[in-house]
Amino acid sequence: MSTAIQVNKPEPITNGKQVVVFDNDTDVKKTIRTLEAGKPIVISGFYSNGLVLLKALKVHLDRKLPNESFQEQRAYRAAYHTLSNRILIEIEDHKIALKKAPFIGWLEKLYPEMSDFVLPFPQVQGLNSSWQWYKNGVKIPVLRNKIHPYYGTYFPTRFDHLILFDNWLKRYEGPKKKAVDVGVGSGILSLQLVKHGFQKVFGTDINPNAIVGLTAFMGDTKLSRKIELDHAPLFGKYDKPVELIVFNPPWLPKTSKEDDVDEAIYYDENLFPDFFEAATQRLLPEGQLVILFSNLSEITNPKAIHPIEKELSEGGRFQLERCFKKKVRKASTETKRDQHWRVSEEVELWVLTHK
């Protein structure tokens, strides 16, 4: 792992603040009241005790808060996030100090300088899930090989937009010397570009985990010579114009402080204006700018402004060459959330050129 870039990771708790212990003999309702009072809880005994408490917390919030509309779901998740992160787990010698707990390799990889500390239980769950994805790999339909996403790096669980991009690349007849992938993430768009014959791809990301993880994933293979990375916003150090720029930005505008925790999903008001301004300087005269997006924001908020349409009507920098759209697959029948709005959701591939 590169020492030049410090990765994001759950903040360990090392202070000796007095907390309440929860085990299989503790009263659940009383414990939830303790959490609502702002006091932390430490799980004792079995790892499953933490799962029991989280399940009870969800039942409690289901009764207390509406959870139907998109906005209500966001409020519900914010409440759950706040309360659940007061449930703590002790780590000893890089292992969870509970019986029948899973092994999580990230505890040693991400915290080499400390062996004993405390983490919020949802963060431990996130580390566990991430470790399984990292260890076992994730199959992406448009790639030949699995990806192994690093902790804290976004990777897609739905692939409609990637299939749309892959189909576009199959028909692409322009030069394939250089491309820039803004917000490289787990590297899927860059890997698609290489698969379709691009000689060099420059990838940037503001998330250090994306750069560290993708660097480790490529190692000293041919990929590492085809894909060059930079930990920086937008185009970073890549200031020479290229024939293709690809961008898969967040699809929802930030509307609250809670949205700041996930910059892979929510964008701030400056992202698109800054991106388009920078892109005009980085795209060759005959080059193409490809943006993968969705109408999700307009579905969930009828007053939302589509940032690409706004640029085309007001920016004066780019013109539309083509826009491809694809209906997303239906929401899983196993999901408990009301996602009726998914019926109208489409992923979009916008191809823009210089005016």
Look up residue 11 and give its two tokens. Answer: 């903040």
Helix, coil or strand: residue 293 = strand
User: Given this model, what pLDDT does residue 218 score?
Assistant: 95
Assign 223 a pLDDT band (cuts: 50, 70, 90): very high
User: Given this model, what pLDDT does residue 334 score?
Assistant: 43
Shortest CA distance to 9 belongs to which of 136, 137, 106, 128?
Answer: 106
Q: Is 135:113 a contact under the CB 8 Å cutoff?
A: no
CA distance 192 to 198: 9
Given a cut of 70, whether residue 47 has pLDDT beyond it is: yes
CA distance 160 to 165: 9
Shortest CA distance to 79 belongs to which of 256, 314, 290?
Answer: 256
Cα radius of gyration (the chain): 22
- The amino acid sitting at 341 is W
Per-residue pLDDT, averaged over 253-259, amounts to: 64
User: Given this model, what pLDDT does residue 260 score?
Assistant: 45
Shortest CA distance to 323 belongs to which of 309, 307, 341?
Answer: 309
User: Given this model, what pLDDT does residue 254 score?
Assistant: 80
Per-residue pLDDT, averaged over 343-347, amounts to: 84
- pTM of structure: 0.85
Q: Is 294:281 a contact under the CB 8 Å cutoff?
A: no
Per-residue pLDDT, averaged over 222-251, amounts to: 96
160-354 maps to CATH 1.20.1250.20: no
Q: Is 121:31 a contact under the CB 8 Å cutoff?
A: no
Where do the domains of the chain lie?
Answer: 20-135, 160-354
Taking the CA of residue 254 as centre, how many other CA atoms within 13 Å lie in the half-sphere pointing to its CB? 17
Per-residue pLDDT, averaged over 93-120, amounts to: 95
User: Given this model, what pLDDT does residue 304 score?
Assistant: 84
Collect all residues with Cβ–Cβ distance below 8 Å to 175 and sequence separation of at least 6: 243
Q: Is 299:346 a contact under the CB 8 Å cutoff?
A: no
**Beta pairing, strands 346-354 & 227-231:** unpaired
User: Given this model, what pLDDT does residue 330 score?
Assistant: 62
